[in-house]
Each structure stands twice: as C-alpha cells, then as structure tokens.
Amino acid sequence: MTVAVDPVSVAERQIVAEHQLREKVINEEFKIWKKTVPLLYDTIHTHVLESPLLSVQFLPNYTVSENKNKISVQALFGSNTSGREQDHVKLVLLDLPSTLAPDFSTFAVGDSIPIPMNGDGLDSFKVLQSWKHPGEVNKIKVSPNGEKWITFDNQGLVHLYNRKDETPVDFSYHTSEGYALEWVSDTEFLSGANDSRIALWDIKDASKPLKEFNSHTAVINDISFSPAAKVLFGSVADDFNTYIHDLRSPEESPAIKISTNHIQNAISFHPLLSSLFATGGKDNVVNLYDTRNTKEPFRKLFGHNDSVVGLTWDTCYDPNFLYSWGLDKRVINWDLSKLSEEVTYPSSEASESKRRTRVTEDPCLAFIHGGHTSRINELSVHPKIPNLFATVGDDNLLEVYKSKTLLDEEEDEEEEEKEEAEEEEKDDAEDKPETKNEDVDMKE
C-alpha cells in the first residue's frame, strides 16, 4: 500500500528548509564580519531600534566636548511601524571619539587618545527631538544648509520640517506614496512618486508645484540634481528609462533619454563634474555615464550580488569616491581614481562554465561594509567629517562607522611586497627540474 504524498506539503517543507539555510548563511557571515571589525574600522556604533528604518540623514555640523575627548554629531531618521504605532521623525545625538574630527590636531590634549569601540565610555545615543509623522517615513532629505528637512509618507504627501515648529508644512500633489526626494537649493526641491509624476516645489508655496514633469510612465525610484550643472536633474523609474531634464526648458520632455534592459533603482550626479552621473539597478551593476555620450555607460562597476538600491558621492573628503548599497546587505566604497587601471568584466559564460575561471576584483572596489543582516535601505555620508557613515536597514539597525583607510604609501608598499612575492614564486618555479616528460615516459 502506497501512501500519497501531498505535493503542497513537500513544497512547503522545501521552502522552509531553504529559508533556514539562508538564515544560517547570513548568521555565519555576520559572525565572520564581527570578528574582523577591529581590523576594518576605526570606530563603529550599532544601535538596535524598535522598527526598521527606511531613511537616515546626517546634519552637517558637529560639536566638541569640553574635555576634548569626544565629538557629537546629529542625525535624522524616521520610523516604519507598518501602521502598528504612531510614526515619528527623530533627531538624535551620537557621541564619537574626538579623533574623528577633521580639526582634531588643533584641540588634541595628548599625543594619543584611545578610540572606544561600540560606544565604550560614551553616552553614544540620545533622542533630542521627535515629531509625529502621518504614516511611514519613506524618505528624509536635509536641506544643503542643514536647517530644514523634507519627508515623503506612504500616502503621497511631502512634509517640510524645521527645529522650531512642531507641525510640518504639507505639500499635496502626488496621488500615491513616494521615495524620491532631492533638494535643488535651500528653497526648492523635487519630489517623485509611485504615480510616475515628478514635481518641482518652492518651499514658500505648498499649494501647487512650480513645474510638473510627466515623462515617466511607471514608479519613480530616484531623483538626483546636478550641483555642478545647476540646471540638470536625473530620474530613474520602473519604465526602464533614465531621463535627464533641464529645469530651464519650457517642455516637460527630457533632454536626454536612456533606455536600459534592467530597471534602475538609483541615480546620482557627481558633485563637481557636471557631465558625470551614476546609476544602479536590478542587474546588480553600478553604471557610470557621461552626459555627452549616453549610448552606453563608459564604465561598469561589478561587486554587488543583488539589486543596487542606492548611490551617493563623497561631498566632504574625496569626490573620487562613490558609495553604493543594496539588497545584498552590503555597502561598497568605489575609488574612481583607479578607473585607469585595467579591469575585466565578469561574463555570464564564465559564471555558467563548469571550468571555473579566475575573475579579478575591480581595482575601484576599495571597501565593503557588511554589518547588516538584511537589506540596507540608505547610507548617509557626513558632510563635514571625512569617512563617517550611517546606515539603516530592514534589520532594525542603525550603524555609524568609520572604516580604516590605507595611505598611498602603505598601498604602494603592499603592492611592492605582492610583486616581490610573485617574482620569487616565478623564480622558484624556473629553478625546479622539469619532470613532466619523465613521467610520460614512465607511463609509456
């Protein structure tokens, strides 16, 4: 007698087993990362919050404590309680070692101050202010001068906040929720939503947009204004299109149209070069474009193994650095000063081949942050403190960290040591007697 096996229950068990295996792999990867923290970071602070966070933004300034042993930075984030509780926008204070300050040498009290790890000896997290927010906080963007910030909720309203007022100013135009916000100046901003529409606003008039852009036909994923060009902004959407608009143009249609085979989730203009911008999307690739020739990206950056959801440039320390993050729980630092070095793109044929081929790492890949156990929703680069980052994700974590950086001299020394080792291996191989022909003769 044969017992019938329910195919549904078999499939369910298989799904559960696959989920458990993924969780096990994630936990093991996180354990490995924790062991490497002292080697990879100058400092890192991890805070577990009550709900996942979709957005985080540093405010531009910092203060120094009276004893000169610590500095305090401020950051904004918004809650995502999925309707279970009242959502808030919160302004928090984070205490960090004073050695992170760019002007540390001017107020240092000794030759060496120990760097606390994970907040030892520091009251490192304090909520300064909290504002009620109508629904989930999909996005926060701080104005260039740091005095105001805008948020997008899950109903399509944009809210303008400042420190003094408890009640925000509401900008009503979009018919569905949105995630794309970008400041054009301290008085103007752009918003893009799931209704496929983009609006240009003046903060003094919340009644209607200054201008509307209806060129996209699907969800707007991201918007980026070019501070170098001053009149251009780019947008990416689920319609597989990347558009570059000129704010001076009376037409709604974009000045540049780029159609791709994969949906692009993020776009970011370079802060100094008006012709350079980057996109990242569901093909796990970061693309670098020149606005003067957009038929193809002039360079692709491979490093992520899942969708790229965000991009931003370093506007404080080194504009050669581009940062990307995504569903693979990773933030990657790209050093574009290495663009001239030779690189070989991975191919689908090579990955599918039974014979594994050696794939060289992209020389632009400078650092990978692996401190999250779920997707990373946003990264913020501090506007004044070099190499200071904040990340938030679906794992309820807020992480503030500074990665270690190698000086050029140290990198050169490492490269020389590597070349010497390779040369020694080559010499050893040449000195060894050839035995291949003898082995063949013996077999014969």
Mean pLDDT over 362-373 rounds to 95
Q: Determine the pLDDT at residue 35.
A: 86
pLDDT at 357: 41
What's the average model confidence in pLDDT over 61-70?
89
pLDDT of residue 347: 76
- pLDDT interval class at 9 (50, 70, 90): confident
In the predicted structure, residue 122 carries a pLDDT above the cut 70:
no
Average pLDDT across the chain, whole number: 86
The reported pTM is 0.84
**Mean pLDDT to the nearest integer, 166-189:** 97
Question: Distances in Å between the alpha carbon of 178 and those of 87, 192, 374?
Answer: 16, 6, 22
Most confident of 77-86, 233-242, 408-417: 233-242
- pLDDT for 412 beyond 90: no
Q: Which domains does the chain have, with CATH numbers?
A: 18-137+377-415 (no CATH), 215-328+331-369 (2.130.10.10)
